[in-house]
Amino acid sequence: MSYEKVDVPEDGEKVTYDKEADELQVPDNPIVPIIYGDGIGKDVAPVAQKVLEKAAEATGRNIEWMRVFAGESAREKYDENLPDDTVDALREFRVSIKGPLTTPVGAGFRSLNVALRKKLDLYTNMRPTYYLDGVPSPVKNPEEMDMVNFRENTEDVYAGIEWEAGTDEVEQVREFVEDEMGYDSTIHDGPVGIGVKPITEFGTKRLVRKAINYAIENDRDSVTLVHKGNIMKFTEGAFRDWGYELAEEEFPEQTIDEDTLWEEYDGEAPEDKVVVKDRIADNMLQQLLTRTPNYDVLAMPNLNGDYLSDAAGAQIGGLGIAPGANIGDGRFLAEPVHGSAPKHAGKDKANPSAMILSGKIMLEHLGWEDAAQLVHDAVEQQISSKRVTYDLERQVEGGEKLAASEYADEICERIDELA
């Protein structure tokens, strides 16, 4: 592959993929594309990069970074938002990491984050929410939080099928819905915006498959399907039904439903069974707070997953800490839960932990468990020391406020000490 405006590191090697075995082959010096992103991305991404590099070196490897561009930096370099160079690099080198990218509200270009997920078919958005020692939290028992959110990443209202009020197109759709589909008098008169919410059996089943496999491989107790199927029967309701169907079809020995749990096991699931259950999304959002220990792996359509991952993150220190990753077959793009937080941009103050811990998921994905553990331990030690960025300092008694770069430097020192 040739690139117009990015330099491919000479010394690195490619991560490759064995499709049949669904396995990556990872050299000790992989080329890893990185997008710094917009807003605070430019603060947190370079310092997170240093931490990840340090953990790789401490375990005898080397990451050969390949800087690629999207959003503001791409507009400057290429005069476009998402150049082919970037998409091609993420496709070719398979495992990569990105900071947040800004999306304008109400008009302008569509989300570049969503575009990347769709172009690379990164159909799972995995966002683990877990407690780190010493993290300040608005809840009484934050240590109870240990959930992994599997969010469908390519469809739902994020498919981008919508029509703007006042256009001929939206009036055509209104006419079709009212006259041909029989929804007369359902839409108020006057300007209207209309969107379409596709949820497919294919998209649902491949996401739920990933969630159940994850639960089995990581010894998790349950997978909860989170939907609003009482209201959106044929989209969110179908998500729930296809989710149960998939569990029955493909995991009959490894999973049980909640009825079976109570009827046959009196509420105590055997060690080797994953309980598949479902909850309506509004109820689930309050149960995150009130029944935290009852939930484990969660699987849900795109919009529910977007809302729920920020809400869950708030219970364990906030968005400055919440990590994530986009995963497809043989492709992976780590990315924090948070956005570009424009008001904090360029001040070297935003918390880089979410980006660092997203990188930790990337290290795990590369099979570098030892490096990932070093990152986890060093971040946890740093937070426990109360020498933290502004977002945590304002919640911690006796805390000391550090710049993002100072905070990351201290994490690097801790990695040296721990290695």
Residue ranges for the known binding site are 102, 111, 113, 117, 127, 151, 306, 351, 390, 394
Among the listed residues 29, 111, 200, 287, the single contact to ligand AKG using CB under 6 A: 111
Determine the distance from the C-alpha atom of residue 48 to the mean position of all C-alpha atoms in its chain, rounded to a whole number. Answer: 17
Angle subtended at Cα 276 by Cα 225 and Cα 24, rounded to the nearest 5 degrees: 80
Q: Give the side-chain half-sphere CA count within 13 A for 411.
A: 34
Report strand pairing: 146-152 vs 124-130.
antiparallel
Question: Which amino acid makes up residue 372?
Answer: A
Among the listed residues 354, 356, 363, 371, the single contact to ligand NDP using CB under 6 A: 354
Among the listed residues 128, 313, 317, 320, the single contact to ligand NDP using CB under 6 A: 320
Among the listed residues 25, 29, 62, 103, the single contact to ligand NDP using CB under 6 A: 103
Q: Which stretch binds ligand NDP (CB under 6 A): 94-102, 130-138, 237-245, 378-386?
A: 94-102
Residue 5 annotated among the catalytic residues of the structure: no
DSSP 200: -
Contact status: 340 vs ligand NDP (CB under 6 A): yes
Binding positions for ligand AKG, 286-325, rule CB under 6 A:
306
**CB proximity list for 261: less than 8 A, separation 6 or greater:** 267, 269, 275
Cβ atoms of 398 and 416 closer than 8 Å: no
Pairwise CA distance, residues 93 & 313, whole Å: 30
Q: Which stretch binds ligand AKG (CB under 6 A): 34-42, 82-90, 110-118, 252-260?
A: 110-118
What radius of gyration do the chain's Cα atoms show? 22
Least distance in angstroms from the C-beta of 112 to ligand AKG: 7
Three-state SS letters, 285-313: HHHHHHCHHHCCEEEECHHHHHHHHHHHH
Judged by beta carbon, residue 223 or residue 408, the one nearer ligand NDP is: 408
Q: Is 304 exposed, middle or buried (0-12, 13-18, 19+ CB in 10 A)?
A: buried
| Residue 419 binding result from ligand NDP, ligand AKG, Mg ion, none, given CB thresholds of 5 to 8 Å by partner type | none
Least distance in angstroms from the C-beta of 338 to ligand AKG: 8
| Residue 222 binding result from Mg ion, ligand AKG, ligand NDP, none, given CB thresholds of 5 to 8 Å by partner type | none
Among the listed residues 73, 81, 96, 113, the single contact to ligand AKG using CB under 6 A: 113
Contact status: 72 vs ligand NDP (CB under 6 A): no
Residue 343 annotated among the catalytic residues of the structure: no
C-alpha to C-alpha distances, 157 to 92, 100, 337, 358, 370, nearest whole angstrom: 29, 20, 19, 25, 39
Catalytic one among 306, 349, 360, 407?
306
Q: Which residue from 130, 152, 126, 142 is spatially nearest to 336, judged by alpha carbons?
A: 126
SS3 content of the chain, % helix, strand, coil (to 5): 45, 15, 40
Neighbours of 328 (CB within 10 A): 18
Binding positions for ligand AKG, 225-284, rule CB under 6 A:
none
Report strand pairing: 325-327 vs 23-25.
unpaired
Three-state SS letters, 70-134: CCHHHHHHHCCCCCHHHHHHHHHHCEEEECCCCCCCCCCCCCHHHHHHHHCCCCEEEEEEECCCC
Site size for ligand AKG (CB under 6 A): 7
Least distance in angstroms from the C-beta of 339 to Mg ion: 7
Residue 266 annotated among the catalytic residues of the structure: no
Place of tokens 């009196």: 266
C-beta nearest to ligand NDP: residue: 339
Contact status: 114 vs ligand AKG (CB under 6 A): yes
Q: Which stretch binds ligand NDP (CB under 6 A): 45-53, 124-132, 339-347, 377-385?
A: 339-347
Encoded one letter per residue, x for contact with ligand NDP by CB under 6 A and - for no contact, window 104-143 reads ---------x------------------------------
Residue 282 annotated among the catalytic residues of the structure: yes
- Which residues in this chain contact ligand AKG in the complex, by CB under 6 A? 103, 111, 113-114, 306, 337, 339
- Which residues in this chain contact ligand NDP in the complex, by CB under 6 A? 40, 44, 100-103, 113, 319-320, 335, 338-341, 350-351, 354, 391
- Which residues in this chain contact Mg ion in the complex, by CB under 5 A? 306
